[in-house]
Amino acid sequence: MVVVTELDRILAADYLDDLQARSLEEVRAMRTECQEVEVGLSYLRRLAQARLDIIGSEITRRTGGGDPHDLSELIGRLPEILSDRVRSPGVGRLPQQMAPNISEFDLSAQVDAIVDIDRLSSLPDLDDAEVHALRDDLDRFEQEVSARRRDLHQRIDALQAEITRRYRTGEASVETLLK
């Protein structure tokens, strides 16, 4: 998969080697590359979180005595379940792009491998243990994606710090932005 290959290369130990010896254009290109991959990971994480929210709501509904076979109640709550809210604590980052440069299919296939839309729509047919297992699998996946995003953010921060250092020391000037 495209994202994994690019991400593995970017997160390799040698990706930031000789950063100070690289041209400013190359450092900027690396930062842009990292930001583009980060958008893909953010999208992937949001897909997983949306499905986690749906499954979590179903678990809560069942725990509260709701009929496990009543799909209409779950569907009726989807706007509330999927409303824009922060799922995890911490400071977010404003995305540089609103959509990933790679196809949605490539990204959603990773989440679909755990629980696709058909499986979500069949939640009423699953017993409690199966629903909990889906949640646990998705939760592990979301945590893995989040950890890789944090690693990627460290790369972006290091690249930005190098660009900033060059401007502070005079190695780069604002005039180079205009060229």
Say yes or no to pLDDT of 105 above 50.
no
Better-scored residue on pLDDT, 147 or 84: 147
Q: What is the pLDDT of residue 2?
A: 42
Q: What is the pLDDT of residue 16?
A: 96
Q: What is the pLDDT of residue 67?
A: 76
The encoded tokens of residue 34 equal 């990292």
Say yes or no to pLDDT of 62 above 50.
yes
Q: pLDDT, tens digit, for every residue of 66-86?
A: 777 777 777 777 777 777 554
Q: What is the pLDDT of residue 82?
A: 73
3-state helix/strand/coil string of 134-171: HHHHHHHHHHHHHHHHHHHHHHHHHHHHHHHHHHHHCC
Is the C-alpha dihedral spanning 92, 96, 97, 102 positive or negative? negative
Better-scored residue on pLDDT, 39 or 70: 39
Better-scored residue on pLDDT, 90 or 117: 117
Q: What is the pLDDT of residue 165?
A: 94
Q: Are 15 and 9 in contact (CB under 8 A)?
A: yes
Report yes or no on whether pTM surpasses 0.75.
Answer: yes
Whole-number Å distance between alpha carbons of 154 and 23:
20
Whole-number Å distance between alpha carbons of 104 and 25:
29
Per DSSP (E only), the strands in the chain are none
Q: In whole angstroms, how far apart are CA 53 and each of 8, 64, 125, 178? A: 28, 16, 18, 46
Q: Are 102 and 43 in contact (CB under 8 A)?
A: no
